[in-house]
Structure 1
Amino acid sequence: MSRRREPVPFAFTAEADPFRSNVAPPPRERPSAGQVAGRALFGLTLIAGLAGSLILGMPALSQDAPPAQTQHSVASDGR
């Protein structure tokens, strides 16, 4: 029993169906010890950078002390 095929706008997609295979792709290679160490070091560097920027940026974000002086424009002194 053969299937009746409908016209497809792209011929290569219609012709690719009969050539499908049940062969599985080869398994992925396991990363070497150097690659694992490099990825871990890169991740630790990113985390340390984010933590450092947070620690250094916290004093700038705090609103504990009000400003000592209010600034005013010198141009408005003569009015």
Structure 2
Amino acid sequence: MFRRREPIPFAFVAEADRFRSNVTPPPRRRASAGQIAGRWLFGLSIVAGLAGSLVIGTPALEQDHLSTPTRQSQASDGH
């Protein structure tokens, strides 16, 4: 990115992306056992729902040859 030749009023704002702080953020809090169990239960229910919809929806996508109407010719009756 090129630098402007004219001075900017707030130069420290323009150079803020290069600023590094020496203050470390506080450490992240660890998740409790209940939160971890809840996340696992939520993920498991999502996977079970997808698997269940696949099991229930698969027969609907199959083509049944028995349910298709078959035309019988009248000449094969012999009458």
Q: How many residues align?
A: 65
Question: What pairs with 1:59-78 in structure 2 (closer than 5 Å)?
Answer: 59-65=59-65, 67-69=67-69
Partner of 1:32: 32
Q: Percent identity?
A: 65
TM normalised by structure 2 equals: 0.62
Unpaired segments of 5 or more residues in structure 2? Answer: 71-79
Partners of 1:15 and 1:63 in 2: CA distance: 66
Superposed displacement of residue 60, structure 1: 0.9
Query: Which is bigger in relative contact order (C-alpha 8 A, separation at least 6)?
Result: 1
Partners of 1:55 and 1:46 in 2: CA distance: 14
TM normalised by structure 1 equals: 0.62
